Amino acid sequence: MKTSVAPAVHPKDDPWEAALQQFHRAADHIPLKRGIREYLAFPHRELRVTFPVQMDDGSVRVFTGYRVHHSSVLGPTKGGIRYNPRVDLNEVRALAMLMSWKCALMHLPYGGAKGGVACDPAQLSRTELEHLTRRYATEISVIVRPDGDIPAPDVGTNDQIMAWFMDTYSMHLGHSVPAVVTGKPISIGGSAGRREATGRGVMIAAREAARMQEMPFAGSRVVVQGFGNVGSVAAYLLHDQGCKIVGISDVSGGIHGPNGLDPRAVLRHVQQTGSVAGFPSTTAVSNTELLELPCEFLVPAALEGQITRENASRIHTKIIVEGANGPTTPEADEILADRGIVIVPDILANAGGVTVSYFEWVQDLQSLFWSEEEINQRLERIMVQAFRGVVQLARDQDVLWRTAALIYAVKRVADALLTRGIYP
């Protein structure tokens, strides 16, 4: 049998170490007892599964998957599932921790979780992808349920994969359970506005950042790294606000159009050709070069660890809006701060997705659905309120926006833990 193994991660690029550094940096500003701080720093529950999948050619391939619950103090755990060759336990741990802080910051009644399978979905057929999803769903269903842990899409997964997950879970129980996952197709209990939610939140965050920094929004140059669901939606919504999209990239590389690009036209090109490469009237650039293009807004919306101490000094932007989870390392944070570059942190900037996932979950539980207009209005209100709270706290304590966001979130989880008490 063939075994699918994720590549090793160099210690300095370890997302778990980066998440811990960010947590401790914020915790230094909160009077936490040592035991409480230690408890919040580590996941509550970790599940590793190894399972076989029959491939189209009749062979059997073994995959490794994970599901991690970081905290359930504020409510059921919530977090996406990603399919990517880089997936390993430390990455999933880090993402689960970030979900705890993100949900707390947005005042959602959730703790944080994350899951993933080490695989390359682009190398799997639709049938193989379905078989992998259904087997993975079965393996982790021991800790997943609509009132305990609710998965959602992430890198490499989509609404169809959530549909297969929901159907598998429902078949085991003998009745339909739409609330067990979010990010589903609308036809089986998904929410209007969910597909665009993360990108819409990025746009709102960029707009609010421009307002706080007293700089023009319309006409601002924007570079977007990653043209998946988050990056593409953020790009065309920013374009709709009058911003000039001058750079876009995907896994194949990037394109630079200093006079501005129409993201929807780029999307059509991607649908026809499979990548942004070769879009008319643009210059090809690497993903590394794309991050260093001059702009007012840089939106890293790919994977974690993209802006590091190696390239932070070459970033030429005024504001970074983190569409991805953990795209900036702690070392890069310090370099960028010294250079006066503002960062809207991931737990704030990309929180639109989990916020509308919460709306979807609530709608599924009550079997009563809202219009897209209502969804977007509710999202706007929550995002703006959270953004202004973070900026005010940053001013009051003279800290970076990331640190302020984490202080707020960690304190909220710690307060809830102390209020509930330590069992038994």
pLDDT digits (tens, 9 = 90+) for 84-94: 999 999 999 99
Same fold, 45-183 and 190-424: yes
Q: pLDDT-based confidence at 234, cuts 50/70/90? A: very high
2: pLDDT strictly greater than 60: no
What's the start-to-end Cα distance of the chain, in Å? 46
């990108």: which residue's tokens? Answer: 199
Instruction: Look at residue 210 and give its three-state secondary structure.
Output: helix
106: pLDDT strictly greater than 90: yes
Q: Which of 329, 380, 388 is nearest to 359 (CA)?
A: 380
Which residue numbers are catalytic?
114
* Options 3.40.50.150, 3.40.50.1820, 3.40.50.2000, 3.40.50.720; CATH of 190-424: 3.40.50.720
Instruction: Look at residue 138 and give its three-state secondary structure.
Output: helix
Output helix, strand, coil percentages for the chain, rounded to the nearest 5.
Answer: 50, 20, 35
Cβ count within 10 A of residue 179: 21
Are β-strands 244-250 and 253-261 bridged in parallel, bridged antiparallel, or unpaired?
Answer: antiparallel
pLDDT at 32: 92
Are β-strands 221-225 and 149-153 bridged in parallel, bridged antiparallel, or unpaired?
Answer: unpaired
10: pLDDT strictly greater than 70: no
pLDDT at 7: 35
**Region 179-201: what's the mean pLDDT?**
97
160: pLDDT strictly greater than 80: yes
**Region 253-258: what's the mean pLDDT?**
95
Are β-strands 221-225 and 297-300 bridged in parallel, bridged antiparallel, or unpaired?
Answer: parallel
1: pLDDT strictly greater than 90: no
Cβ count within 10 A of residue 91: 28
Written as one letter, the residue type at 89 is L
Q: Could you say which architecture CATH assigns to the domain 45-183?
A: 3-Layer(aba) Sandwich (3.40)
**Region 168-175: what's the mean pLDDT?**
98
pLDDT at 304: 86
Written as one letter, the residue type at 238 is L
pLDDT at 34: 87
pLDDT at 6: 34
**Region 343-358: what's the mean pLDDT?**
97
User: Which pTM does this prediction carry?
Assistant: 0.93
- pLDDT, tens only, 278-325: 999 999 999 899 999 999 999 999 988 999 999 999 999 999 999 999
**Region 206-226: what's the mean pLDDT?**
97
5: pLDDT strictly greater than 50: no
**Region 233-239: what's the mean pLDDT?**
98
Share of the chain above pLDDT 90, in %: 94
Q: Which helix (H) or strand (E) holds 381?
A: helix 372-397
Domain coordinates in residue numbering, the chain: 45-183, 190-424
Contact 412, 101 (CB under 8 A): no
pLDDT at 4: 37
**Region 220-237: what's the mean pLDDT?**
96
227: pLDDT strictly greater than 70: yes
